[in-house]
């Protein structure tokens, strides 16, 4: 059972426009969410996070929104740049002393930003 | 500073064989986590080690085992390989194991394993 889902496998956006990547989760115990970016032949790199006590977190061009009642989060990239082209993963975790920091990842969304 | 390094980068094995993957964390990092990423899917948590002790285990069979050495490097062992074990195996290191440490958890480039 996939607890974190990214329903759009790919997204194509024009340079300068907004990119919106979506993520849904089912486990209501998740209370911390992270977005990672992955280029080919590299490991994922941390992008931005949000705690469940917030509904928005912003870092430069990147903003993450959290809707707890809908169990939905989204990553907005404004303006999109060609260098943003990568696979984006949503991940979630909750306080579980017996399971370490077990990140649960979504399946990823491939973003392509066209010049 | 060197990032997280993993070896080998690629390897090919046949069903039933055993494999050992290696990970060297960033200097000063005491936590190492292992993830399996099957093609087209997101990474799936396998193990986390901190200060040479297992701190977390994902939903993987006993064929998967790991250990962390005094220098904080780690090995992931997989016995009796199955075709479904073909994947990219990612190692990640962090200095601590708090949730905020996830923001400074760095992933290596991975080892791509193909089981024939």
In DSSP notation, B57-115 reads: E-S--TTEEEEE-TTS-EEEEE-S--GGG-EEEEEEEES--SGGGGGG-EE---EEEEE
Comparing A16-25, A34-43, B91-100, the range with the smallest average pLDDT is B91-100
Nearest to A101 among B4, B48, B90 (CB): B48
Q: Write down the pLDDT at residue A99.
A: 57
Comparing A15-24, A89-98, A105-114, B8-17, the range with the smallest average pLDDT is A89-98
Q: Write down the pLDDT at residue B99.
A: 74
Q: Write down the pLDDT at residue A24.
A: 97
Comparing A42-51, A53-62, A89-98, B105-114, the range with the smallest average pLDDT is A89-98
- Looking at per-residue confidence, does B1 or B19 come out higher? B19
SS3 content of chain A, % helix, strand, coil (to 5): 5, 50, 45
Instruction: List chain A residues with CB under 8 Å of B101.
Output: 101
Q: Which residue has the tokens 């066209």?
A: A114
Q: Write down the pLDDT at residue A98.
A: 56
How many residues are present in chain A? 115
Does the pLDDT of residue B62 top 70, yes or no? yes
Kindly report, residue by residue over B71-90, the tens digit of the pLDDT.
Answer: 999 999 999 999 999 999 99
Kindly report, residue by residue over B64-74, the tens digit of the pLDDT.
Answer: 999 999 999 99
Which two tokens mark B44?
């799936």
Q: Write down the pLDDT at residue B2.
A: 78
Distances (CA, A) of B41 to A34, A37, B45, B56, B105: 17, 14, 12, 21, 20
Instruction: List chain A residues with CB under 8 Å of B97.
Output: 100-101
Nearest CA in chain B to A4: B42
Alpha carbon of A107: minimum distance to chain B alpha carbons (Å):
4
CB contact under 8 A, A103 and B58: no
Give residue B98's pLDDT band: very low, low, confident or very high (50, 70, 90).
confident
Please give the mean pLDDT across all residues of chain A: 93
- Is there a contact between A57 and A63 (Cβ–Cβ < 8 Å)? yes
Across residues A71-79, what is the average pLDDT? 97
Question: Is B90 part of the contact surface with chain A (CB cutoff 8 Å)?
Answer: yes
Question: Is B68 part of the contact surface with chain A (CB cutoff 8 Å)?
Answer: no
3-state SS assignment for residue A14? strand
Alpha carbon of B77: minimum distance to chain A alpha carbons (Å):
19
Specify burial of residue A32 (Cβ count, 10 A radius: 0-12, 13-18, 19+): buried
Question: Is A89 part of the contact surface with chain B (CB cutoff 8 Å)?
Answer: yes
């Amino acid at each position: 059972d996939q607890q974190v889902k990214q329903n759009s496998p790919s997204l194509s956006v024009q340079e300068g426009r907004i990119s919106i990547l979506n993520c849904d989760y089912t486990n209501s115990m998740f209370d911390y969410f992270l977005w990672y970016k992955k280029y080919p032949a590299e490991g994922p790199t941390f992008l931005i996070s949000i705690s469940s006590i917030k509904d928005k977190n912003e870092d430069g061009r990147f903003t993450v929104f959290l809707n707890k009642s809908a169990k939905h989060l989204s990553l907005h990239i404004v303006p999109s740049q060609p260098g943003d082209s990568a696979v984006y993963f949503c991940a979630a975790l909750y306080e579980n002393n017996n399971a370490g920091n077990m990140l649960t990842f979504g399946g990823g969304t491939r973003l392509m930003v066209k010049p | 500073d060197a990032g997280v390094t993993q070896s080998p980068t690629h390897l090919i094995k046949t069903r039933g064989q055993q494999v050992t993957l290696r990970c060297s964390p960033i200097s000063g990092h005491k936590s190492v986590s292992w993830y399996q990423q099957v093609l087209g899917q997101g990474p799936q948590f396998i193990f986390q080690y901190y200060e040479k002790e297992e701190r977390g285990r994902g939903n993987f069979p006993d064929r998967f085992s790991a250990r962390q050495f005094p220098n904080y490097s780690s090995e992931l062992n997989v016995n009796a390989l199955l075709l479904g074990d073909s994947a990219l195996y990612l190692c990640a290191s962090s200095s601590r194991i708090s949730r905020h440490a996830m923001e400074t958890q760095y992933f290596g480039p991975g080892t791509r394993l193909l089981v024939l």
